Structure 1
Amino acid sequence: MKKRTFIHSLLVAALTASASLAAQAEGQIRIAQQFGVVYLLLNVAQEQKLIEKHGKAAGVDVKVEFVRLSGGSAVNDALLSGQIDIAGAGVGPLLTIWDRTKDKQNVKGVASLGNFPYYLVTNNPAVKTIADFTDKDRIALPAVGVSVQSRVLQLASAQRWGQDQFNRLDKLQVAVPHPDATAAIIKGGTEISAHFGNPPFQNQSLAANPNARIVLNSYDVLGGPSSATVLYATEKFRNENPKTYRAFVAALDEAAKYITANPEGAADIYLRVNQGQLDRNLLISIIKNPEVQFKLTPENTFKLATFMHSVGAIKNKPGSAKEYFFEDPHSAAAN
């Protein structure tokens, strides 16, 4: 009887240890990013292998995989289906998935990718403000009704025409990847007459097409510098991979400091990682733009969250930005 009890105890201990190891499985992180300079933190972390570096310092060999997607809807689907661990998208998609998974998978923000002004650019000479768009115009953006560009345009519409008219321009929106939308604005002659993008695409359009002009600046709509693009994950991934998670955040912090101190070097990394034909001087001017800040602390996101709840885009009303960002040191001042 004692022998059987002893064997049973060993079995229970082995199963408990196995379960504990499974719950703390470390060493893999799959990161989804989209297009643009807003993902420069990830580009630097990727090329300099900063996640691997900080993982090794914590005693973990981290296998890092980067996935390129387009649009917040695709990114959110990939996160919920378990195809990725870290999602990179706008604040709009974050709020949508936070609301959808509250008290379930509990998806929350990990960090900001920095503050960037997003421009709504048009090549239609008749369009001076958003009030000048007609049914003949088409506004390209990453995801209709979900992307941060779409949400900012809704907020601008509410500010212009009243809360009940927030979706007035939704019918003109079309989902197009930034590179394709930029080409359409530069070339002209397509149904796309406007593009709500991000850097460097908006800057390319303005530099290449003399007829292109800024109709709307996201900073004006949101009331100042804001973190338009963020990173987010499930509570399960954060809890079960604490060392990998911390290595990822530490890598982002190191990347932000590197970019701030070495804008030229960061520009070269962007060009190598993205293998594009972007003019280097234009890229450096974007990185050095005083309105651009590479930082992890989320800034000025709550106004959009409040708006989205007020129009029924999200059911749960956050009391502050800290409700949809994980409780980490860099998020302590999230707003």
Structure 2
Amino acid sequence: MIGLALLTFVFVACASGNQTVSQTPEKITIAYQPGINYANLLIVKQLQILEKQFPKTQFEWKELSNGAAIRDGIIANQIQVGASGPGAFLVGWDKGVGWKILTSLNYSEFWLITKNPNIKSIKDFKPGMKIGLPSLDGVQAIVLRKVAQKDLGNPTALDQNLQVIAHPLGLQSLLTGQIDAHFTTPPFEFQEVERGGRVIIKSSDIFGKTSIASLFTTEKFYNQYPEFGKALYTAIVDATKLINQKPDEAAKILSHMDNGKISQDQYKKWLTNKAVAYGIEPRSFLKCGAFMHEIGMLNKQPKSIDELILPPLKGVKGD
């Protein structure tokens, strides 16, 4: 059972929130992707923080395989809030989706991993070799193109090698030799290294501290339901503090969410791994945007983080 003290620590704002319930739509769908990059959002889900603050709203939580699918759902108005990386977000921003960043979630490193002994660097990839990643405009693809530009003289040199595959399936495909490399995130990268995988690229070496996962919603939706947007932002801030200050308790919640299939100890090891970090400040959106514009993935590029953020992030350091 999750203790009362824990609920109090994480979401002291709920008491006041329950007394000032704002108008919200009848249903809100929140979409995210596999992995612990979304741990703070998953804590909000598991503790039903939003459901308690907005009891008249039906909340649907969806796990989708990549940011492109989430972006399509936002465009179709089937998803109101989506969690994804900067690549898919910036493509949508460029094409007029009208969404902005409500908060960052996670800055974990993501790694390109291989088990093929003949692959030492991206220079060793031959035609027909497969590199698995979640989408062609996701942040993994952006990092890979940046490295290809530097090491191969052409940012799209490896595009024919790319195979779109969800992280969990990519893990199994790498371990069984169906793909030659996998560009993935925690905890899948940790599991691959434990099973003999070798790291070829670390994202932190390319763009530095990067918001691998952030929460997005359209400016129209936020302006229509600002109290909900602020409540969600506050819930993420509190869940992030919990992970950073009390990882044992955060791990307990996540293990409880999985009905104990993944132990509390295992979650704590993942959450406290030096490659994993959680925070609300958007990071590396401008760097990614500049590079994507340079290679033709964007028609325009953001010049300031203020172009990309919603009101709760105003005054919060970001790039």
TM-score by length of 2: 0.87
Contact 2:102/2:313 (CA < 8 Å) preserved in 1?
A: no
Residue in structure 1 matched with residue 157 of structure 2 by the alignment = 168
Q: Do structure 1's residue 113 and structure 2's residue 97 form an aligned pair?
A: no
Residue in structure 1 matched with residue 183 of structure 2 by the alignment = 196
Q: Do structure 1's residue 329 and structure 2's residue 318 form an aligned pair?
A: no
Which of 129, 132, 137 is matched with 2:124 structurally?
132
Residue in structure 2 matched with residue 220 of structure 1 by the alignment = 205
Q: Do structure 1's residue 49 and structure 2's residue 48 form an aligned pair?
A: yes
Separation of aligned partners in 1, 2:296 and 2:143: 15
Separation of aligned partners in 1, 2:126 and 2:159: 12
Contact 1:91/1:148 (CA < 8 Å) preserved in 2?
A: yes
| Structure 2, gaps ≥5 residues long | 1-22
Residue in structure 2 matched with residue 206 of structure 1 by the alignment = 193
Which of 140, 145, 153 is matched with 2:144 structurally?
153
Contact 1:76/1:97 (CA < 8 Å) preserved in 2?
A: yes
Residue in structure 2 matched with residue 64 of structure 1 by the alignment = 59
Task: Report the RMSD for the aligned CA atoms in angstroms.
Answer: 2.1
**Number of aligned residues:** 298
Separation of aligned partners in 2, 1:120 and 1:65: 32
Q: CA deviation at 1:280?
A: 4.8
Q: CA deviation at 1:135?
A: 1.5
Q: CA deviation at 1:26?
A: 4.7
Q: CA separation of 1:330/1:213 partners in 2, compared to 1, >3 Å: closer, same or farther? A: farther
- The structure having more radius of gyration, on CA atoms, is 1
Q: CA deviation at 1:125?
A: 0.7
Q: Do structure 1's residue 305 and structure 2's residue 296 form an aligned pair?
A: no
Which of 183, 187, 203 is matched with 2:172 structurally?
183
Residues 179-232 of structure 1, C-alpha deviation per residue, up to 9 Å, x if partnerless? Answer: 11111222x232x1111010000101111x22x10010000011x222111111
**Match for 2:43: what amino acid?**
V
Residue in structure 1 matched with residue 17 of structure 2 by the alignment = none
Q: CA deviation at 1:136?
A: 3.3
More helix by share: 1
TM-score by length of 1: 0.83
| Structure 1, gaps ≥5 residues long | 1-23
Contact 2:254/2:264 (CA < 8 Å) preserved in 1?
A: no
